[in-house]
Structures are given as C-alpha cells and as structure tokens.
C-alpha cells in the first residue's frame, strides 16, 4: 500500500489535486500525500526520493508546509545522480532559505559540485548559491566562483557571473575578488555573460566609490558596446521586435547613468551616444520605448548638455501623446521628477498633462494630479485651478483629499486677487467639503476677516451656499461664522458684486436654527452656529426673543460645550445686557499663528480668538465677563477648535487647571515685593531672556504666612497701550497657610517701543472668610525691566 | 530589483510563484490573492503598472493567466514588461504552443528553468 502511493508520479498528483472540487477536498488529498511522503522519507528509499521531493515541492508552492523535506534535499544533493541533484537543488532553493539551520550543510556539497567539472552540475550548484547563498557561504565559496568566471564554457560563465552578483549583494567586501575579472569579461561576445557582467559592475559601483572610480575608465568601452548594439543590423538571436537585445541596452544605459552621475568627463563622452540612441530607436513597439525611457532617465541623471535635456523632455512629451497608457504613465512619473530642475521645459507640456487628468485610469490620474499641482505658477493659476476644480468634481474619493488640499495650497500661493481666492476656496469647500484639511476653515475665516471690502460679498455668497446645502461641515462652519460677524451687511440688501438678495431677519435666524438642529452637524459646527446667533442679537434690528429662546433651550443640552456656551450667553442676556454690545463687537483681525493681540486697559472688549497659543492652552475661566482689565483668554468666543473644558453646571464658571508653571530662569534683576496684607505676600521676579530685547518675563509668587488658607486667588494685570501682555495659568488658586507651597504665575510682557513699564495688579481672593479685592499699581519697577 | 514573480489564473490559483525575498508562507497566499484582485479589477483600457504597498506591480494577461512581477522603485517598468513577454515567448517555444495546463503540469520543471533567469532585474 505504501509502495503504490509512493510511486505516484508528480503528474498524477497534480491530476488528483486538480480533480478536487473544493478547498477541503484538496486539503485532504494533499494531507494524505504528505503522510505518504513522510513515511517514505523515514524509510529512506533512495530510488524514489526525488519523486517524493518533487511532489513535496509542488505542494509547497500551493502554500502548504513542507519543512520536513529539508534533510531530504541534503541527501539528494549529495547523491551522484543528476536527476537527484536537480530536484535536490531545487528543493534547497525553495525550502532552505537562510533562516533554516540546515542551510549551512549544503555548503560542502556545493563546493564539491563546483569543482567537479560537469557543466550541468556546476550550473545547478551556482544557481542554488545565487538564489539562497548566505553571507558565510558566499565568503567560503567566493574564490571557487571566481575561478569559474574564466571557464571556457559560456553557460558556466554566465551562471558564475550571476552568482557573483548575488555575492556582492550579500557581502560587499568581496568586491576586491570580483573586480579584476570584470575588465576581461567586458570583451565577451556572449550576450548572456555580458549582461551579467554589466550587472556585476553595476552592483560593484553602487556599493563602493573606489570601484566607481575604477570603472569610470571603462566608459569609452561601454559606449562602444552600446553603439555596436544600436547600429548593427538585425540579429535573429538577440532581436526583440526589431530592437537588438533591449535588455542589454537598458542595462548598459543604467550603468552609464551611475558612472556619469556628478562626473563631467564621463557625461561628456556619453552625450553623443545618448543622442544617437534617442534618435535611432524604433518607437513603434514596446521594446524600443523601454530603451528610450531608460535613455531619458539617464539623460536626466548625468551632467548632460542643455540640448540633450530638452531632447529628453521632448521625448517625454511625445510619450504623453502616445495612446498606450503604459507609456503615458511612465512619462508622467518621469516628468514629475524633472519638474523641479527643468520647470520651464515641462511647462510646455502642460496642456497634455491636464488632458491626462481626465483619464479613467486611477494610477494615471493620480500621477497627472501630482504633476499638475507641481506645474501651477502665477501665470497659469486661473486656468489650472479651473481644470483642477473640474477634476475635483469627478474624481474618486481617495484622490479628492489630495486634490482639495492641492488646490487650496496653490490658491494661497498664487492668488491674483482676494476675491478670487475666496471664490476658489468656497468652491472647493462646496464640492469636497468633507475632505479638506482641518485648517482650511481657519484659513478661510482669516482670509475673509482680512478682506474688508469683500465682507458683504462673502457673506452673501456664503448665505446662499448655506441655504442650499447644510451638510458640508467646513462650509457650514465658515458660513455660520460669517453670518454672525457680518449679519448686518447681509440684511442691508445691496451689494454691487452679486445679484441683489433680499434676506429677511427671520430667514437668517431660521437657517441658523436649522443648522443647530440638524443631525448632520458636528458639535463644533453647532458651536459656531450658536455663537453666530448670539452675535446676531446685536446686529439685527428686531427684538431678540427668538434668539433668547434658542439660547435658553440649549442651556440644558447634553453636549457640554454647547451647554456651557448657552448658559454663558443666557447670563449675558439676563445680567449683563449692558455689556452685550461691546462684547459681541466684530473681531479684530488675528495674526495667523501669532500671539494674542492686546489690550486697552480697563476697556471691555470681545474675548479674542484663541489661535495657536500653545503655551496657554486653557486659562482660568473668569466667572463674570466683566471688568476685563486685560486679556482673558477665555474661549467662550469663536474658538476655532474649542479646547476641551471641564464640565460645570450653571453658575461657577471658574476653571483653574493646575498647570505647572515653567520654572523661571535665573534673574539678575532684583525681586520686588509689591504687596502684603495679613500674611499674604506677593513678590515679583523679573527675567530678560537674552535673545529678545523686548521681552520681559515676570513671575508673580504669592506666599501665605498667616494661619488661614487663601482661596480663589486670582491675579490679573494691566499694562499701558503700547505693551503686549500675556498671562499664563497660575499654578493653583489656593495659597496654603503657614508658609505652604506658594502659588506662581507667569506674565509675559512684550515691549516693542521700549517705553517705561507701568504695571497695575488686581487681586481677588478669600481670606479668613472674607472676600478681598485689591487694585494697585506697582511702583519702583527696576529700570532694567524695560530698557 | 524584482521581488517576486507570479503566474496566477483568473480564479486565483497560483500556477507558478517565485519569491526573491523571504515572505512567510501564510503571507504568500494573502499577497497572491490581493495582487490578483487588483489585477482583475483593471479593465483592458488601464495601464499595466499598479502601485501596491511599497512596490510596483507590472502585470500582463495571457488568456486566463496573469503574469505579475513585483518590483521596487529602481526598475524600468517597460523593460520588465518586455521581459514578461520574452519569458512567455520562450515558454511557447519550449512547449510548442504553451497553455495553462502545461504550466501547471510542468511547474517543477518550470522552477528549474525559471531559476536560470535569476534576478536579471
């Protein structure tokens, strides 16, 4: 029974496997067969071993485990019969890669076989060595291989050369062994050996600069070889669709590229040849195109003459017009590489590139998109953006994100007018709103805010866009913000640049409410809408009942952020109505990424936007929005992305986060004690950082030597108009009694005009059950603080 | 550098596979199915070069058999494309009008024969 299945030939096994109808059946057949094979290996039958191994290899190729055949490979390799050796070496190549322990054991067999003298056997051994030779094996057998490089038989030489290539890849130090024979091997006539030699030289040059220098001397010889290839006529042996040995040509060109890179002299020698190849190659078939492509790559990489580079770009342009998509793909990829260095030459082909945008093929359109974005410059920006926006509307979703950000970037860099910029951004948001980058909203609001003359225009357009579609979140956010800011302009009714749009107050309010209630709106969007409604309460002339209603409804909303805003706004309506107009004034333009713009002392102003003030992520939330002596970084205004705040119900809106202050740098300026009352002491220490002449860092330290704790401690500061002040979060709001840990707070003062510093401090705290408020000016400020 | 060479039929059965870099055996089947899926989803109008993870796939369809070669960035795609065709022509000569059946039956012989090409890339 065992005998009969062990003599199952490979073909029969394959037949059986093919007859299996399902995966499970196939697995069954294979498992049964593997069991037989394993048994046969155990029995050690030498006659049929190769057959078993052949079957095992087939099974391995299908994906089943075959590691138990490894030792059999070794036995087969060691056997004197050729059939055995053949299957053995094949098995070794497939099963015995470097990770297996048995790998090294074949070294000896290979060594013996290499010195044997029978070509076929040597061929097998070389094959295996080149496929799976490990570093140690290569080192051991390098000299053997080198001897075989100069054997009379071309078959062996070819394999030896390829093995040498593998060895160099594994163990670059062996290059000194393989360097000398190369010169002689270049005189080969046999193309196989020649190809291998070229590869060997390529590997040597890539890995060692010394070899590179050595082989540069051979450039004329290589040029000669290539020229003969190109100019000789048709040779049946090597011709592929009319081009003689394109593989060899391509390889030589690649080597020339490596040799000519950054080397004037070699590049010069090659110039003529490259021009010749470029013009003589027949481009009607793929083989010719492959050679041409390699030529172009080489021209681009070496120090070629300007004329040659233009020739290369033109060839690529011709490729672009070819109907074969492969060629167009290849051309687009290379043009992308070229666009940095030869921008003007590539510009000439811009119309064709734009054509390729309309390709249905995914790889092509992606390349075309990248290339088009790289080609946008100030003169063609309008036309290109038009094309790109057309593309944006029809392209697959994965490309939309790239396209959208590309268009926005190009618009930023090259926008001819602000209005065009706003229009373009709007259009992108309307088409691909969900795929734009996060800061697109910020950028757009920045842009609109800055373009005063376009406020009316932008608010109208945004209103109409919003009225049509409230699903694209970035668009809705910007529109809500704009309507809130410039609502009065919207209702005025006349604007030269768009058609007259008669908008009623009620419509505007209804729209914003819709946004608030829609389940498509993100929480951030709702925040924008709520704030916009609030701002409209001052801008619109009608009464505010509707707005007040909405705001109070959201006071019990589940979303904490919204709830907080609603409650604050409610408070604004109820208790601080007199401040409402001032607080909800138009936002002054914030510098992008800059520090907070600053203040008038003692004037209430709108809570400013929180831009990238990273060192001040969250600030103590003032409970009352009044008495703004200075900058309070409360994000209850239009934060672009409101930072997460601790939840508080209704009333007390004080958040103090215990952020550790940065330790103050050593202060050569003497400290100043500015305040003392009932054991609570306030000290100021000053630092002028050496880099900036206008910056002053003040650390306010509060210490408490009394018996009772000081709680709810808030320190605020005010400076004259020309200064800029930044208050960072204090280390805590409680100064513990009996000389406990003092509270510190850092003030940053920018003094660009180098005016004399005046500082006013306001303290509020609870001490001994009483609430205390103190306002005083700091006298005796040392001169070094502002000079 | 060529990373792998596959001959897969339309149903996803691998007829020949040669990996020039070590890939785990279970990952191989996964790789092959993914590769054949991306090749099958292309129409005849699209170009034969696909970007897949960090290498490029160059494929050619011959009746029901796909020949896919995976290469890294340094290769000339068109030369590989030509190489695939060359290989098929040689097979054609050897088996005189080769068909998929021949390929699957003589796969072991194919391996030996294929290894003579080694890594010409």
Across the interface, do B45 and A97 touch by the CB < 8 Å criterion?
no
A:B CB pairs within 8 Å: 109
**A725 three-class SS:** strand
End-to-end CA distance of chain B: 5
CA distance B29 to chain A (A): 7
What is the radius of gyration, based on Cα positions, of chain B?
A: 13
**β-pair partners for A743:** A702
- Alpha-helical (H) ranges within A48-174 are 49-62, 70-78, 82-95, 106-114, 119-132, 135-148, 154-170
The interface residues of chain B toward chain A in range 20-49, judged by CB-CB distance below 8 A, are: 22, 25-26, 28-29, 45-49
Strands A759-767 and A743-750, sheet pairing: unpaired
Across the interface, do B82 and A195 touch by the CB < 8 Å criterion?
no
The CA distances from residue A307 to A226, A279, A290, in Å, are 21, 13, 22
> In the structure, what pLDDT confidence band is assigned to residue A500 with cuts at 50, 70 and 90?
low
Q: Name the E strands within A247-300.
A: none
Judging contacts by C-beta atoms under 8 Å, the chain A residues touching residue B83 are 247
**β-pair partners for B49:** B58
Q: Is the pLDDT of residue A666 over 60?
A: no
Instruction: Return the structure tokens found at A541.
Output: 């002339």
Q: Rounded CA gap, B99 and B97, in Å?
A: 7
Give φ, ψ of A480 to 5 degrees.
-60, -45
Total number of residues shown for chain B: 121
Q: Give tens-digit pLDDT for A670-713.
A: 788 888 888 888 888 888 877 677 788 888 888 888 877 888 88
CB atoms inside a 10 Å sphere around CB A343: 12
Q: Give tens-digit pLDDT for A207-232.
A: 888 888 888 888 888 888 888 887 77
Q: Are A474 and A438 in contact (CB under 8 A)?
A: no
* Residues in chain B with pLDDT values less than 50: 119-121
Total number of residues shown for chain A: 787
Q: Give tens-digit pLDDT for A314-332.
A: 888 888 888 788 888 888 8
**B62 three-class SS:** strand
Nearest by CB: A290 against B76, B104, B111: B76
Instruction: Return the structure tokens found at A747.
Output: 């003030």
Q: What is the DSSP letter of A735?
A: B
Q: Is the pLDDT of residue A569 over 70?
A: yes
Q: Are A677 and A667 in contact (CB under 8 A)?
A: no
Across the interface, do A90 and B108 touch by the CB < 8 Å criterion?
yes
Nearest CA in chain A to B43: A361
Q: Give the ipTM.
A: 0.73
Nearest CA in chain A to B86: A240
Alpha carbons within 13 angstroms on the beta-carbon side of residue A409 total 14
Judging contacts by C-beta atoms under 8 Å, the chain A residues touching residue B78 are 286, 289-290, 293, 326-327, 330
Mark A644-680 as b/e (b = at least 16 C-beta within 10 Å): ebeebeeeebebbbebebeeeeebebeebebbeeebb
Judging contacts by C-beta atoms under 8 Å, the chain B residues touching residue A58 are 107-108
Q: Are A571 and A553 in contact (CB under 8 A)?
A: no
Q: Give tens-digit pLDDT for A334-379.
A: 888 878 777 777 888 888 888 888 777 777 888 888 888 888 887 8
Q: Are A747 and A726 in contact (CB under 8 A)?
A: yes
Q: What is the DSSP letter of A462?
A: H
End-to-end CA distance of chain A: 105
Q: Give tens-digit pLDDT for A524-545.
A: 888 888 888 888 877 777 767 8
What was the pLDDT predicted at A48?
79
**Whether B110 contacts chain A with CB within 8 A:** no
Q: Are A520 and A481 in contact (CB under 8 A)?
A: no
What was the pLDDT predicted at A236?
66
Instruction: Return the structure tokens found at B36.
Output: 């054949």
Q: Is the pLDDT of residue A718 over 60?
A: yes
Provide the CA B47 distance to its chain's centre, in angstroms: 16
Mean per-residue pLDDT for A459-475?
79
Judging contacts by C-beta atoms under 8 Å, the chain A residues touching residue B26 are 63
Mean per-residue pLDDT for A137-162?
83
**β-pair partners for A696:** A749
> In the structure, what pLDDT confidence band is assigned to residue A612 with cuts at 50, 70 and 90?
very low
CB atoms inside a 10 Å sphere around CB B76: 23
Across the interface, do B79 and A99 touch by the CB < 8 Å criterion?
no
**Whether A598 contacts chain B with CB within 8 A:** no
Nearest by CB: A290 against B28, B82, B104: B82
Mutation for B interface: A196, A326, A368, most B CBs within 10 A: A326
What was the pLDDT predicted at A419?
80
Q: Are A388 and A370 in contact (CB under 8 A)?
A: no
**Whether B119 contacts chain A with CB within 8 A:** yes
Please spell the DSSP secondary structure of A545-591, one letter per residue. HHHHHHHHHGGG-SSHHHHHHHHHHHHHHHT-HHHHHHHTSPPPPPP
CA distance A287 to chain B (A): 6
**Whether B120 contacts chain A with CB within 8 A:** yes
Smallest CA-to-CA distance from A349 within A324, A327, A332 is with A332
Mutation for A interface: B51, B52, B78, B101, most A CBs within 10 A: B78
Q: Rounded CA gap, A301 and A637, in Å?
A: 55
Judging contacts by C-beta atoms under 8 Å, the chain A residues touching residue B107 are 14, 58, 61
Q: Rounded CA gap, A471 and B89, in Å?
A: 57
CB atoms inside a 10 Å sphere around CB B66: 20
Across the interface, do A195 and B120 touch by the CB < 8 Å criterion?
yes
Nearest CA in chain A to B49: A326
Judging contacts by C-beta atoms under 8 Å, the chain B residues touching residue A296 are none
Q: Chain-wide mean pLDDT for chain A?
A: 76
Smallest CA-to-CA distance from A37 within A13, A16, A61 is with A13
What was the pLDDT predicted at A469?
77
Q: Rounded CA gap, A566 and A560, in Å?
A: 10
Percent of chain A with pLDDT over 90: 0
CB atoms inside a 10 Å sphere around CB A81: 13
> In the structure, what pLDDT confidence band is assigned to residue A645 with cuts at 50, 70 and 90?
very low
Angle, helices A325-338/A306-321, rounded to nearest 10 degrees:
150
Mutation for B interface: A21, A23, A63, most B CBs within 10 A: A63
What was the pLDDT predicted at A1?
35
Alpha carbons within 13 angstroms on the beta-carbon side of residue B118 total 24
**β-pair partners for A726:** A748
Provide the CA A546 distance to its chain's centre, in angstroms: 47
CA distance A39 to chain B (A): 22
> In the structure, what pLDDT confidence band is assigned to residue A782 with cuts at 50, 70 and 90?
confident
Please spell the DSSP secondary structure of B67-109, one letter per residue. EEEEE-TTS-HHHHHHHHHHHHHHHHHHHTS--HHHHHHTHHH
What was the pLDDT predicted at A593?
47
> In the structure, what pLDDT confidence band is assigned to residue A451 with cuts at 50, 70 and 90?
confident
What was the pLDDT predicted at A4?
44
Q: Are A476 and A515 in contact (CB under 8 A)?
A: yes
DSSP element (H, E) containing A300: helix A286-301
What was the pLDDT predicted at B19?
80
Q: Rounded CA gap, A470 and A479, in Å?
A: 10
Strand arrangement, sheet containing A759-767: A710-718, A759-767, A770-778
Smallest CA-to-CA distance from A456 within A504, A505, A422 is with A422
Instruction: Return the structure tokens found at B38.
Output: 């991306």
């Amino acid at each position: 029974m065992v005998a009969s299945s062990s003599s199952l030939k490979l073909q029969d096994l394959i037949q059986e496997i093919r007859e299996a109808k399902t995966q499970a059946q196939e697995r069954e057949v294979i498992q049964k067969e593997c069991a037989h094979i394993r048994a046969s290996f155990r029995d050690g039958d030498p006659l049929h071993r190769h057959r078993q191994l052949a079957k095992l290899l087939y099974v391995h190729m299908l994906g089943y485990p075959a590691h138990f055949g490894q030792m059999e490979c070794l036995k087969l390799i060691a056997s004197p019969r050729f059939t055995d050796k053949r299957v053995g070496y094949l098995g070794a190549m497939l099963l015995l890669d470097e990770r297996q322990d048995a790998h090294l054991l074949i070294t000896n067999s290979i060594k013996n076989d290499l010195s044997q003298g029978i070509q076929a056997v040597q061929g097998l051994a070389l094959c295996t060595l080149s496929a799976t030779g490990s570093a140690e094996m290569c080192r051991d057998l390098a000299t053997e291989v080198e001897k075989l490089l100069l054997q009379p038989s071309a078959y062996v030489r070819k394999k030896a050369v390829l093995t040498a290539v593998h060895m160099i890849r594994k163990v670059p130090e062996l290059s000194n062994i393989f360097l000398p024979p190369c010169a002689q091997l270049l005189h080969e006539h046999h193309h196989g050996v020649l190809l291998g030699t070229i590869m060997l030289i390529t590997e040597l040059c890539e890995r060692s600069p010394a070899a590179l220098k050595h082989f540069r001397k051979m450039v004329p010889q290589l040029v000669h070889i290539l020229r003969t290839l190109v100019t000789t006529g048709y040779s049946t042996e090597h011709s592929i669709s009319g081009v003689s040995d394109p593989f060899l040509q391509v390889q030589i060109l690649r080597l020339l590229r490596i040799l000519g890179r950054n080397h004037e002299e070699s590049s010069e020698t090659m110039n003529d040849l490259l021009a010749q190849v470029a013009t003589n190659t027949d481009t009607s078939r793929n083989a010719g195109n492959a050679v041409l492509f390699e030529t172009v790559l080489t021209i681009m990489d070496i120090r070629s003459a300007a004329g040659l580079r233009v020739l290369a770009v033109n060839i690529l342009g011709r490729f672009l017009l070819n109907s074969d998509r492969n060629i167009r793909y290849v051309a687009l990829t290379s043009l992308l590489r070229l666009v940095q260095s030869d921008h003007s030459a590539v510009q000439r082909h811009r119309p064709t590139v734009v054509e390729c945008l309309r390709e249905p093929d995914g790889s092509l359109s992606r390349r075309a998109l990248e290339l088009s974005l790289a080609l946008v410059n100030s003169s063609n920006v309008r036309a290109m953006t038009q094309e790109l926006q057309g593309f944006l509307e029809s392209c697959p979703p994965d490309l939309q994100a790239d396209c959208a950000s590309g268009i926005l970037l190009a618009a930023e860099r090259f926008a001819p007018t602000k209005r065009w910029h706003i229009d373009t951004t709007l259009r992108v948001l309307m088409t691909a709103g969900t795929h734009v980058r996060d800061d697109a909203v910020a950028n757009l609001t920045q842009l609109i805010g800055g373009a005063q003359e376009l406020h009316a225009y932008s608010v109208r357009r945004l209103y109409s866009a919003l009225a049509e579609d409230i699903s694209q979140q970035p668009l809705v956010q910007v529109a809500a913000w704009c309507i809130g800011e410039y609502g009065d302009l919207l209702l005025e009714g006349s604007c030269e640049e768009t058609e007259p749009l008669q908008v009623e107050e009620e419509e505007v309010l209804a729209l914003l409410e819709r946004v608030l209630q829609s389940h498509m709106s993100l929480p951030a969007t709702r925040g924008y809408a709520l704030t916009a409604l609030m701002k409209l309460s001052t801008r619109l002339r009608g009464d505010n009942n509707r707005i007040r209603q909405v705001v109070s409804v959201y006071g019990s909303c589940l979303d904490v952020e919204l709830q907080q805003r609603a409650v604050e706004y409610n408070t604004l309506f109820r208790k601080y109505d007199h401040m409402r107009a001032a607080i909800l004034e138009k936002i002054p333009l914030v510098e992008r990424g800059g520090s907070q713009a600053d203040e008038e002392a003692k004037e209430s102003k709108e809570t400013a936007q929180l831009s990238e003030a990273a060192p001040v992520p969250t600030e103590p939330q003032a409970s009352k929005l009044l008495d703004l002596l200075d900058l309070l970084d409360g994000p209850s205004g239009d934060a672009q992305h409101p930072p997460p705040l601790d939840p508080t119900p209704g009333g007390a809106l004080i958040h103090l986060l215990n952020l550790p202050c940065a330790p103050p740098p050593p202060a050569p300026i003497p400290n100043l004690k500015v305040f003392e009352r009932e054991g609570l002491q306030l000290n100021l220490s000053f630092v002028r950082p050496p880099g900036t002449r206008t910056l002053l860092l003040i650390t306010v330290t509060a210490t408490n030597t009394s018996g009772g704790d000081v709680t709810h401690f808030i320190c605020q500061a005010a400076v004259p108009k020309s200064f800029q002040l930044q208050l960072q979060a204090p280390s805590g709001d409680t100064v513990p009694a009996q000389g406990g840990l003092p509270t510190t707070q850092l003030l940053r003062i920018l003094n660009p005009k180098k005016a004399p510093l005046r500082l006013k401090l306001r303290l509020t705290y609870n001490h001994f059950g009483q609430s205390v408020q103190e306002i005083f000016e700091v006298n005796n400020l040392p001169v070094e603080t502002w000079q | 550098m060529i990373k792998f060479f596959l001959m897969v039929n339309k149903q996803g059965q691998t007829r020949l596979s040669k990996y020039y870099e070590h890939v785990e055996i279970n990952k191989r089947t996964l790789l092959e199915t993914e590769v054949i899926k991306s090749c099958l989803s292309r129409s005849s109008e699209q170009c034969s070069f696909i970007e897949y993870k960090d290498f490029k796939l160059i494929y050619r369809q011959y009746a029901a058999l796909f020949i896919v070669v995976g290469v890294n960035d340094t290769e000339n795609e068109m030369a590989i494309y030509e190489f695939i065709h060359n290989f098929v022509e040689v097979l054609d000569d050897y088996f005189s009008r080769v068909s998929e059946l021949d390929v699957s039956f003589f796969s072991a012989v194919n391996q030996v024969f294929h290894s003579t090409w080694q890594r010409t890339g």
